[in-house]
């Protein structure tokens, strides 16, 4: 930065800039219609809104609100009904959010227009705990906020998986996506063979589930820091996602000694 020649002016300018930045920052808001299978064998469609600013993300769905902060390394799920905020570490969390940026993205050569967005189609297969996912996505490389959103998701994937995202991940925002999820047999260390067999047989009967989403709006806007904070009146509880795995892997207590 050029030397202004006056320490007082420099300090004043810095304070003003800090104040403006603290009030609102540039971010991107993505609105999409998501269709998922329901419990009755049909489907249901709902509006999902995603807000990204810097290293923070907020998703709002009918089921609830989730806030991810990459600098803090946390994910917070807000339950409006119970006024509870459940916080967990995203370190090595994995799951669909992290693993969906691993593996190879292959261009199909197809191009189309979704709403007002021109996009290019890619196929992508990846695996996560208990499932295999095959998807077809149409990426809008010139969408508003595409660079910011791409940078966030790459960093989030690395934080969640401990692995570098695939170099084939295209920069842009997916404006149309269809993913088919195949559930795999769940195995838990120490599970009796009979129980493992029953679970595997039950899961083998499940048909793959398909979800679809289509973006209806993408816009850059000023985001207030309060968007990424837990609302007043919420109680915060912290959980360790890896604790369940440690409990499952723990050895059963020894039988009491015979007298």
Q: What is the pLDDT of residue 37?
A: 85
Mean per-residue pLDDT for 129-142? Answer: 87
The CATH H-level (homologous superfamily) assignment of domain 27-126+137-177+210-246 is Lipoprotein localisation LolA/LolB/LppX (2.50.20.10)
Tell me the C-alpha distance between 115 and 133, whole Å. 26
Tokens of 52: 């990204």
Mean pLDDT of 185-204: 60
Whether the CB-CB separation of 93 and 240 falls below 8 Å is answered with no
Nearest to 102 by CA among 133, 73, 130, 76: 133
The residue-averaged pLDDT of 98-114 equals 87
At 164 the pLDDT is: 83
User: What DSSP string describes 12-27?
Assistant: HHHHHHHHHHHH-EEE
Per-residue pLDDT band at 85 (split at 50, 70, 90): very high
Whether the predicted pLDDT of 202 surpasses 70: no
Contact 228, 58 (CB under 8 A): yes
* Span 148-194, pLDDT tens digits: 999 999 998 888 888 887 777 888 999 999 998 887 655 555 656 66
Q: Looking at residues 78-105, what average pLDDT do you find?
A: 83
Q: Is the pLDDT of residue 10 over 50?
A: no
CB 116 within 8 A of CB 173: no
Q: How confident is the model at residue 192, as a pLDDT?
A: 66
What DSSP state is assigned to residue 70?
T
pTM: 0.74
Domain boundaries, the chain: 27-126+137-177+210-246
């Amino acid at each position: 930065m050029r030397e202004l020649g006056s320490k007082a002016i420099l300090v004043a300018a810095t304070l003003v800039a800090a104040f403006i930045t603290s009030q609102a920052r540039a971010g991107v808001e993505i609105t999409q219609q998501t269709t998922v299978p329901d419990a009755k064998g049909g489907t249901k469609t709902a509006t999902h809104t995603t807000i990204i600013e810097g290293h923070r993300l907020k998703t709002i769905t009918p089921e609830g609100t989730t806030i991810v902060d990459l600098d803090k390394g946390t994910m917070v799920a807000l339950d409006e009904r119970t006024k509870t905020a459940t916080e967990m570490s995203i370190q090595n969390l994995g799951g669909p959010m992290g693993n969906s940026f691993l593996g190879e993205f292959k261009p199909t050569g197809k191009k189309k227009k979704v709403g007002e967005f021109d996009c290019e189609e890619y196929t992508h297969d990846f695996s996560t705990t208990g499932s295999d996912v095959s998807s077809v996505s149409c990426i809008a490389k010139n969408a508003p906020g595409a660079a910011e959103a791409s940078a966030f998701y790459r960093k989030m994937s690395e934080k969640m998986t401990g692995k570098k995202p695939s170099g084939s991940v295209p920069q842009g925002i997916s404006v149309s996506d269809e993913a088919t999820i195949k559930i795999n047999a769940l195995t838990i260390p120490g599970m009796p063979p009979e129980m493992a067999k029953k679970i595997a047989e039950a899961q083998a009967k499940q048909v793959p589930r398909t979800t679809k989403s289509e973006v209806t709006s993408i816009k850059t806007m000023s985001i207030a820091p309060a968007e990424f904070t837990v609302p007043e009146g919420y109680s915060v509880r912290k959980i360790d996602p890896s604790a369940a795995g440690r409990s499952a892997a723990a050895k059963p207590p020894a039988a009491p000694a015979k007298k």
